[in-house]
Amino acid sequence: MPTEHPTSPVRATLASIDSFCRAVFMAAGADEATSDGATRAMMHGTRLGIDSHGVRLLPHYVKGLIEGRINPQPKVALSSAFGAVGVLDADNGHGGLATFVAMDHAIELADRHGIGAVAIRNSSHFGPAGAYALQAAGQGFIGFAFCNSDSFVRLHDGAMRFHGTNPIACAVPVENGNPWLFDMATSAVPYNRVQLYRSLGKSLPAGTASDSRGYDTTDPDEANMLAPLGGEFGFKGAGLAGISEILSAVLTGMKLSFDIAPMPGPDFSTPRGLGAFVLAMKPEAFLDKHQFDAAMTRYLETLRNSPARDDLNVMAPGDREWKVAEDREKNGVELDPATAQSFAALAARYALQPPFNP
């Protein structure tokens, strides 16, 4: 089995990466449901170009599985339900598995009641929020997903880590087209973007990260906390982070961001007790489906054809991601050196073939 560790980016097909991730999870002791949920979540990020939340997370999740942070064989189930509302206990399993299951329940509730909301308890890092919103849109529902995380983002004018990156995602079905897809961290960038830039040796954009005193830095090695979304108007990003915090932690009875154990460790043996929240809405519960589809089509056609500044073009949320996905389905993915090295190490540990030629 090859043991060489790549020192430059390597290219691999989406299918080979997907198969490799599933094999690694199973070899690390995860059950099939966990392997499927975790891989689907990561592959959403990698397929759509959200690399900070893609398969570069594989070694992190494996460490959590083998050291005890993540339950490798959880009993994920609704612990309570009332009308259009449910509460799901993730049994400290992988956040991807828990959130896909929760959205399945939310869609079922919305199909009956027009709207379905599921709060998630005892979960873990769930990766890209858009994966779960998109799950709803793919079945004809409007989907929302929220999660809080350990403190890493200062408040507006703040000088300490307070909120997590606390993402918000929404996906809306579009007749004869890809869904409208919006997925954002409420920080200026997600922390995984800092790690990615460290791997690539690139400087961070201005106004996205701060040093230990809360002052801006573009050096990813000096980044001690993230800035809230909005730059000089960062109170907007901090307020949006509060929405995720309330839905994901307060409403679920789970830990607030500043009470959650840090994602990077050092403790990987204790479950982190994360909460999350998903919502599904059935458009035809509000109006005729043809009217909804026609309005979305007109909205997007007008948006995409609206005047743009010189040498630029206007895109709808998700347009960039769908273009990336089309290219990567055809041409594969370039894995950054750190990810390629971690894949080679995992392949050697579990006697597997890496998804690229070493």
Residue 194 tokens read as: 């800092």
Confidence of residue 134 (pLDDT cuts 50, 70, 90): very high
What pLDDT is attached to residue 2?
46
Contact, 103 vs 61, CB < 8 A? no
Whether pTM > 0.85 for this model: the answer is yes
Q: How far apart are CA 120 and CA 106, in angstroms?
A: 11
Question: Tokens 């992190």 correspond to what residue?
Answer: 60
| Radius of gyration of the chain from its Cα atoms, rounded to whole angstroms | 20
pLDDT band of residue 4 (cuts 50, 70, 90) is: low
Question: What does the mean pLDDT of the chain come to?
Answer: 95
β-strand partners of 80 = 87
Q: What is the pLDDT of residues 224-270, one digit of tens each?
A: 999 999 988 999 999 999 999 999 999 999 999 999 999 999 999 99
User: How crowded is residue 308: how many other Cβ atoms within 10 Å of its Cβ?
Assistant: 11
What whole-number distance in Å separates Cα of residue 212 and Cα of residue 228? 15
Q: Which CATH architecture has domain 10-287+331-349?
A: 2-Layer Sandwich (3.30)
Is pLDDT of 358 > 70?
Answer: no
Q: What pLDDT is stored for residue 1 in this prediction?
A: 43
